[in-house]
Structures are given as C-alpha cells and as structure tokens.
C-alpha cells in the first residue's frame, strides 16, 4: 500500500490513466498536473498547477513515457498548457522523492543527477519491453494488413533485428503462415533464429535478401534500409519501421521510389493504451512499494 504517500503526475497520455487508478487504489494521495482537459475526472485525484510548492510535497513524481524533450518540455495530451520542468522545480523536490518515467533524455538525466534525485526508466527494463512487445506486434500486424493488398499468410516477410520485439514478431508471423527471414548481426541471434525454424541471414546481406520481399518489419534504430538497399526492393513492398525515431529507413528515398514505408514507434500507446498503461502500472507499483519500503517510509 501507499498510504500517506503523495504521488504527483506531471503530464502524459492515456497510458498514465491506468497508473493513476492504481495509485488511487493503493490509497496514495494523488495530484495531477496537466490533466485539466480530462473528459471524466478521476475520483480520488486532485487537479493542481505546476508549482514548486506542489513538488516540494511529492514523495513520488511520475512523468510521461518520454520524460521531457531536450529543452525540458513535458508532453500532455490532456492540457493545452505548455509544461516545462526546470532546475528550480527539480530543486524543490524532497531528498527522498522518487522519479518515474519511460525514457529519460540527457536534459532530464542531468536534472536528476545534479539534484540527486533517484529516477527509474521503465522502458529500459527487460520485463516492460517484453510485455510491450505484445501490443507492438499486434499493432505492426494491423498496420501491415491495412497497407497491403495481399495477406501476411504465404507472404515473403523480413524481420530485421531479433531483440525483444523482433523475436515476438517473427514468431507470430511464422505462426500465421508467413515465410519469415530474420536479419541479424550476431552469431548467437543467427543460431536462435535457426533453432526457431526461421530463415536467418546477416544484415550485411540485406540488399540481396529484400529483392522479393512483400513485407519488411524493421526494429533496428539505425539507418539500415538506406537507398542502396531500397533500390533493390520491389516497389510494392510494405515497410513497417518499429524503431524509435528517426527510425532505420531512408523515408525520402522510399517516397521517391513509390515504396510504402511507415514509421510506427510507440505502438503500444497508440493501438492499446489501456493494456500499455496496465503494463506500466504493474511494474511501477512494484517498484514504488519496494523502494518506498527500503526508505522505511511505508505505512
């Protein structure tokens, strides 16, 4: 339980709503900043303005999936107000305050480190990434189906990268009858793909492998599908780029060639925000309880 603990939510999207509900259920005091346009107010939470006084009372501060941009701006879909997290704001946090976010850019990391604020990046955790691969894969399949005039079944499909998302995606594509090739860099990933009954190849051979592809799913956050590779792919191939921005595709060249290439990062929050929120809430609640207990402040 989080009885007596003050959890402040600063910005976010629909995924945050599940975390807010979990905190309310665990009897925390909950303050919301940047949620003034919520259609249905959450019973048990209080709307607040972003002030040093509010942050000075926080035991836990929860930021959006991307904590801040490089200038400290915080994204929130539930307000028209621009929110910025500053050095003064961070300096007002109590020494015991814990900060949770999905990913922390350099600006936020520097603020936390200079003010000795303990922070957690949930999206860097293997368990969260693996859980998130489920809605990511479903969203990727949905986008591929919507943008093609053939079925995934019996298609020639390439998955680039055999990480947490790539592994789940390749397995599901294989299960629905696609002919799946997997592009990898490391010999152990090659062995794993072979063991799964997939058709592995090294990404150095990507140019020749794309020549008969119907679908390409990229999970590698580097320019891997460049002009040289795309020039060898069919013009009617459908590319779904799941890597974080700016992705791994030369989108300008793809457009010139008439190739349908779609950048689709953060699919869990788009196609299944409630599920994505529950994944985050489950992990965050566990970390909150464990770390508050370690501080000796849990009631």
Structural domain of 26:
6-124+273-294
How, if at all, do strands 83-84 and 73-74 pair? antiparallel
Whether 1 maps to a domain, the answer reads no
Predicted local confidence at residue 133, as pLDDT:
94
pLDDT tens digits along 115-167 = 999 999 999 999 999 999 999 999 999 999 999 999 999 999 999 999 999 99
173 and 120 in a common domain: no
- Checking if the pLDDT of 296 tops 60, the result is no
Q: pLDDT class for 245, splitting at 50, 70, 90?
A: confident
Whether 120 maps to a domain, the answer reads yes
158 and 46 in a common domain: no
Q: pLDDT class for 299, splitting at 50, 70, 90?
A: very low
CATH code at position 43: 3.40.50.720
255 and 138 in a common domain: yes
pLDDT tens digits along 206-234 = 999 999 999 999 999 999 999 999 999 99
Q: pLDDT class for 293, splitting at 50, 70, 90?
A: low
pLDDT tens digits along 5-50 = 999 999 999 999 999 999 999 999 999 999 999 888 889 999 999 9
102 and 188 in a common domain: no
Phi, psi at residue 255, to the nearest 5°? -65, -40
In 3D space, the residue among 270, 268, 263, 267 whose CA is nearest the CA of residue 245 turns out to be 263
Cα–Cα distances (Å) from 139 to 223, 240, 264, 276, in that order, read: 22, 10, 9, 12
Whether 36 maps to a domain, the answer reads yes
49 and 79 in a common domain: yes
Whether 184 maps to a domain, the answer reads yes
Whether 299 maps to a domain, the answer reads no
- Checking if the pLDDT of 54 tops 90, the result is yes
SS3 state at 292: helix
| 142: exposed, middle or buried (Cβ count in 10 Å: 0-12, 13-18, 19+) | middle
pLDDT tens digits along 263-275 = 998 898 889 999 9
106 and 20 in a common domain: yes
Helices (H), the chain: 14-25, 52-55, 87-91, 106-114, 126-146, 164-175, 187-195, 206-209, 227-230, 251-257, 267-271, 273-294
pLDDT tens digits along 74-117 = 999 999 999 999 999 999 999 999 999 999 999 999 999 999 99
Predicted local confidence at residue 297, as pLDDT:
47
226 and 155 in a common domain: yes
- Checking if the pLDDT of 298 tops 50, the result is no
Whether 251 maps to a domain, the answer reads yes
SS3 state at 211: helix
Whether the Cβ atoms of residue 270 and residue 8 lie closer than 8 Å to each other? no
Tokens read off for 32: 């919301």
- Checking if the pLDDT of 247 tops 90, the result is yes
150 and 118 in a common domain: no
- Checking if the pLDDT of 254 tops 60, the result is yes
Handedness of CA 156, 160, 165, 168 (dihedral sign): positive
The number of domains in the chain is 2
97 and 192 in a common domain: no
90 and 42 in a common domain: yes
* Cα-trace Rg, the chain: 22
246 and 162 in a common domain: yes
Predicted local confidence at residue 294, as pLDDT:
65
pLDDT tens digits along 160-204 = 999 999 999 999 999 999 999 999 999 999 999 999 999 999 999
135 and 249 in a common domain: yes
Predicted local confidence at residue 39, as pLDDT:
82
Question: Quick count: other Cβ atoms within 10 Å of Cβ 165?
Answer: 23
Predicted local confidence at residue 295, as pLDDT:
61
């Amino acid at each position: 339980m989080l009885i007596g603990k003050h959890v402040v939510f600063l910005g976010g999207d629909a995924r945050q709503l599940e975390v807010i509900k979990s905190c309310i259920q665990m009897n925390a005091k909950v303050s919301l900043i940047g949620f003034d346009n919520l259609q249905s107010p959450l019973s048990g939470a209080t709307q607040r303005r972003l002030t040093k006084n509010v942050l000075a009372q926080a035991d836990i501060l929860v930021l959006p999936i991307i904590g801040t941009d490089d200038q400290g701006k915080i994204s929130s879909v539930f307000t028209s107000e621009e929110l910025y997290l500053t050095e003064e704001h961070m300096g007002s946090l109590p020494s015991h305050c814990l900060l949770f976010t999905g990913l922390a850019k350099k600006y936020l990391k520097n603020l936390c480190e200079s003010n000795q604020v303990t922070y957690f990046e949930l999206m860097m955790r293997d368990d969260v990434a693996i859980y998130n691969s489920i809605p990511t894969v479903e969203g990727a399949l949905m986008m591929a189906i919507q943008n093609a005039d053939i079925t995934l079944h019996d298609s020639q499909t390439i998955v680039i990268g055999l990480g947490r998302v790539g592994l789940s995606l390749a397995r599901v594509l294989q299960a629905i009858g696609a002919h799946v090739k997997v592009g990898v860099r490391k010999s152990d990933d090659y062995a794993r793909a072979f063991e799964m009954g997939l058709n592995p190849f090294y990404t150095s051979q990507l140019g020749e492998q794309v020549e008969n592809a119907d679908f390409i799913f990229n999970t590698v956050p580097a320019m891997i599908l460049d002009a040289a590779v795309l020039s060898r792919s069919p013009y009617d191939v459908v590319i779904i780029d799941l890597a974080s921005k700016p992705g791994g595709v030369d989108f300008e060249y793809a457009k010139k060639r008439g190739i349908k290439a779609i950048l689709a990062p953060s699919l869990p929050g788009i196609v299944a925000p409630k599920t994505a929120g529950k994944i985050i809430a489950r992990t965050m609640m566990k970390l909150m309880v464990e770390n508050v207990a370690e501080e000796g402040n849990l009631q």
